[in-house]
């Protein structure tokens, strides 16, 4: 007898084994695993009462809160598909996603009412708009809010054997940094097996206390919604990323782990408020979502007296593929250790990673030869929603093609050198914008940096750096150029540096290089052009 692989089993198990244990902390509210499971099953019942059928898409526009976490179980419990939305998208972008997905219900927080009202007439598939955290006041809203629906509903808990592990459980849309966002289809099986791999890799224990610093609509955020529940750990919800609030929650709840994107880590390191709080409970911090640097890893370890390492994954891979956590047999010290922990890392259990050339052959494991990362794992998506041709293209040869260019060394450690579209080709030489950014970020006066190509009559294109300085610090263009030349080859160094107040970013802190390339457009390429691989 084969029992279906579904994340619903995680909450069922935690409810049975740890019913009175604190499962979720959200502001001043606390829920045990018994209460968490009860609310999730009531959400499932409410959805069924509202006419939601198996396979229907249910959208949530919400900050990190217990209701969104409940949806990660309640929506698939009802047989429906959860669609979490990026709260920072523009009205036309949200409308595009909702129309593309054909969502039937949209749950939204009160603060997003004006936003949704501005485009609701352009999303005809939505039958109900349900407010999450306040009484329904507008006429276009369902008369019952989220809490009313749960109170009136009968809990719905189908037998586990009724689930189809290959059916769709979650639909996440890509960030759309290079094209229109595409829906990534993850099955019950994808989510279940990915969570097991993550638990093994991070050695997740039942006394884990994880702070949800990253929005749950983002890959780095929703992955832990399952692994922490499986072991009966404590979810600590962070409504918005504010440094002072992060420190308060770490101290109050004795948080032992958190995941960050680099901009968050940079903010925490540079926040003077850290000195006012006890953060000694933190055991490890993982940095992902964008390239980290050895400098940032070192600063985080010194600030929190904990283990800090990078990781890598994509929405299409459910999400984690690799970790740069030091292998047990490795004995590295000083800057070499920081450099290793800032790498893309090695494959987590049950994941296969290769770095291949344009012909699909493995590149030499010399840490120098560049190729594309391809992956094979239980977490790799079922495909892109309504995009069979693009699915076939990225899944060619039975491997998921990430579009990330990297090197691999003898120990299986991978280092992303750039996205394929961000490689700068100058005079026939491939230059990694990430390598140049890492060199710039090592300067103590630099807060953020982005490197893009700009047109050049002689070389075709050359690197240009856009730099945000740290408050109270100063550095000139000449000084920063000399600093770069002392760390990397001269031909890789920026030909110009422009100091800016800020860099445009996605909702999760990724720099929007597409926007910067458009602003400083190079006539030698367009955003859709690829570059030649070496």
Q: How far apart are the first and last CA of the chain?
A: 50
Residue pair 107/85 in contact by the 8 Å Cβ criterion: no
* 226 within a domain of the structure (yes/no): no
- Segment 345-374 shows an average pLDDT of 96
Strands 383-384, 183-187: pairing is: antiparallel
Tell which wins on pLDDT, 330 or 313.
313
**Separation between Cα atoms, residue 427 and residue 460, nearest integer Å:** 6
For the residues of 390-458, what is the DSSP string, one character each?
HHHHHTGGGSEEEEEEEEE-TTS-EEEEEEGGG-EEETTEEE-HHHHHHHHHTSTTEEEEEEEEEEETT
Q: At 324, phi and psi to the nearest 5?
A: -105, 15
Residue-wise pLDDT for 407-453, tens only, equals 999 999 999 988 777 778 787 777 888 889 989 999 999 999 999 99
Residue pair 377/196 in contact by the 8 Å Cβ criterion: no
Q: Is the pLDDT of residue 350 over 80?
A: yes
Q: Is the pLDDT of residue 71 over 80?
A: yes
| Domains held by the chain: number | 2
528 pLDDT band (50/70/90 cuts)? very low
- 267-271 contact pairs (CB < 8 A, 24+): 267/241, 267/243, 268/243, 268/300, 268/303, 269/296, 269/299, 269/300, 269/303, 270/447, 270/470, 271/243, 271/244, 271/247
Residue pair 98/126 in contact by the 8 Å Cβ criterion: yes
Q: Is the pLDDT of residue 169 over 60?
A: yes
Q: Is the pLDDT of residue 155 over 90?
A: yes
Name the pTM for this structure: 0.85
Q: Among residues 190, 218, 246, which one ends one of the domains?
A: 190
- Segment 386-410 shows an average pLDDT of 95
* 393 within a domain of the structure (yes/no): no
Give the pLDDT of residue 522.
Answer: 53
Element (H, E) at 188: helix 188-202
Give the pLDDT of residue 203.
Answer: 92
Which residue in 87, 32, 44, 402 sits closest to 216, CA to CA?
A: 87
Please name the residue that has the structure tokens 């884990």: 208
Please name the residue that has the structure tokens 């999760």: 508
Residue-wise pLDDT for 96-109, tens only, equals 999 999 999 999 99
Q: Is the pLDDT of residue 533 over 60?
A: no
Q: Among residues 129, 159, 190, which one ends one of the domains?
A: 190
Q: Among residues 163, 190, 217, which one ends one of the domains?
A: 190
The CATH number of the domain holding residue 118 is 3.40.50.12780
Residue-wise pLDDT for 459-476, tens only, equals 878 999 999 999 999 999
* 82 within a domain of the structure (yes/no): yes
Q: Is the pLDDT of residue 531 over 60?
A: no
Q: Is the pLDDT of residue 94 over 70?
A: yes
The CATH number of the domain holding residue 476 is 3.30.300.30
* 527 within a domain of the structure (yes/no): no
Strands 460-469, 446-456: pairing is: antiparallel
If one counts every other C-beta atom within 10 angstroms of the C-beta of residue 322, the result is 26
Residue-wise pLDDT for 6-35, tens only, equals 999 999 999 999 999 999 999 999 999 999
Give the pLDDT of residue 51.
Answer: 96
**Separation between Cα atoms, residue 8 and residue 217, nearest integer Å:** 19
88 pLDDT band (50/70/90 cuts)? confident
- 27-32 contact pairs (CB < 8 A, 24+): 27/65, 27/237, 27/239, 29/66, 31/66
176 pLDDT band (50/70/90 cuts)? low
Q: Is the pLDDT of residue 167 over 60?
A: yes
Give the pLDDT of residue 427.
Answer: 74
- Segment 65-90 shows an average pLDDT of 96
Q: Is the pLDDT of residue 523 over 70?
A: no
Q: Is the pLDDT of residue 526 over 90?
A: no
Four-point Cα dihedral 151, 153, 155, 157, nearest 10? -140
- Segment 61-89 shows an average pLDDT of 96
Q: Is the pLDDT of residue 325 over 60?
A: yes
Residue pair 323/309 in contact by the 8 Å Cβ criterion: yes
Token digits for 193? Answer: 């097996």
Q: Is the pLDDT of residue 304 over 70?
A: yes
Strands of the 29-32 sheet, one edge to the other = 29-32, 22-26, 234-237, 209-212, 257-260, 284-287, 307-313, 320-323, 346-347
Residue pair 422/414 in contact by the 8 Å Cβ criterion: no
What percent of the chain stands above pLDDT 90? 79
507 pLDDT band (50/70/90 cuts)? low
Q: Which of 197-206, 216-225, 437-446 has the lowest mean pLDDT?
A: 216-225
Give the pLDDT of residue 45.
Answer: 98
Q: Which domain holds residue 430?
A: 423-519
What percent of the chain stands above pLDDT 70? 96
Q: Is the pLDDT of residue 258 over 60?
A: yes
């Amino acid at each position: 007898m084969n029992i279906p692989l579904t994340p619903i089993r995680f909450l069922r198990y935690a409810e049975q084994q740890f019913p009175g244990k604190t499962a979720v902390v959200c502001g001043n509210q606390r829920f045990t695993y018994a209460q968490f499971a009860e609310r999730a099953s009531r959400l499932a019942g409410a959805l069924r009462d509202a006419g939601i059928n198996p396979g229907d898409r249910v959208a949530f526009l919400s900050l990190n809160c217990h209701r969104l976490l409940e949806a990660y179980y309640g929506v698939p419990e009802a047989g429906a598909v959860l669609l979490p939305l990026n709260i920072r998208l523009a009205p036309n972008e949200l409308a595009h996603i909702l129309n593309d997905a054909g969502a039937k219900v949209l749950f939204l927080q009160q603060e997003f009412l004006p936003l949704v009202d501005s485009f609701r007439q352009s999303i005809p598939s939505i039958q109900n708009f349900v407010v999450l955290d306040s009484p329904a006041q507008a006429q276009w809203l369902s008369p019952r809010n989220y809490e009313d629906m749960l109170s009136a509903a009968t809990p719905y808990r189908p037998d586990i054997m009724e689930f189809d592990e290959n059916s769709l459980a979650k639909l996440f849309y890509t960030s759309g940094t290079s094209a229109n966002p595409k829906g990534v289809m993850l099955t019950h099986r994808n989510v279940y097996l990915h969570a097991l791999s993550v638990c093994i890799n991070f050695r997740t224990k039942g006394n884990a206390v994880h702070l949800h610093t990253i929005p749950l609509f983002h890959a780095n955020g929703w992955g832990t919604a399952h692994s922490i529940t499986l072991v009966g750990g404590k979810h600590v919800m962070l409504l918005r990323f504010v440094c002072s609030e992060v420190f308060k929650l770490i101290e109050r709840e004795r948080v032992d782990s958190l995941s960050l994107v680099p901009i968050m880590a940079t903010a925490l390191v540079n926040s003077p408020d850290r000195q006012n709080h006890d953060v000694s409970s933190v055991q490890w911090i993982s940095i992902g979502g964008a390239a980290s640097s050895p400098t940032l890893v070192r600063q985080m370890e010194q600030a929190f007296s904990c283990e800090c390492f990078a990781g890598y994954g994509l929405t299409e891979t459910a999400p984690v593929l690799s970790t740069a956590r030091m292998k047990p047999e490795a004995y590295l010290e000083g800057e070499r250790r920081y450099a290793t922990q800032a790498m893309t890392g090695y494959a987590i259990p049950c994941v296969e990673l290769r770095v291949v050339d344009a012909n699909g052959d493995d590149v030499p494991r010399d840490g120098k030869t560049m190729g594309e990362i391809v992956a094979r794992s239980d977490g790799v998506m079922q495909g892109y929603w309504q995009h069979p041709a693009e699915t076939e293209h990225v899944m060619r040869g039975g491997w998921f093609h990430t579009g990330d260019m990297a090197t691999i060394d003898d120990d299986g450690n991978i280092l992303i050198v750039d996205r394929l579209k961000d490689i700068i080709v100058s005079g026939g030489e491939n230059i990694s914008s990430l390598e140049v950014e890492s060199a710039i970020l090592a300067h103590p006066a630099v807060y953020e940096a982005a490197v893009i190509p700009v047109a050049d009559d002689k070389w075709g294109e050359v690197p240009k750096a856009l730099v945000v300085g740290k408050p109270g610090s100063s550095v000139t263009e000449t000084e920063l150029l000399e600093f770069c030349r002392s760390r990397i080859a001269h031909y890789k160094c920026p030909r110009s540096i422009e100091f800016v107040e800020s860099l445009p970013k996605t909702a999760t802190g990724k720099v929007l290089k597409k926007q910067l390339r458009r602003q400083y457009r190079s006539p030698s390429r367009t955003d859709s052009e690829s570059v030649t691989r070496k």
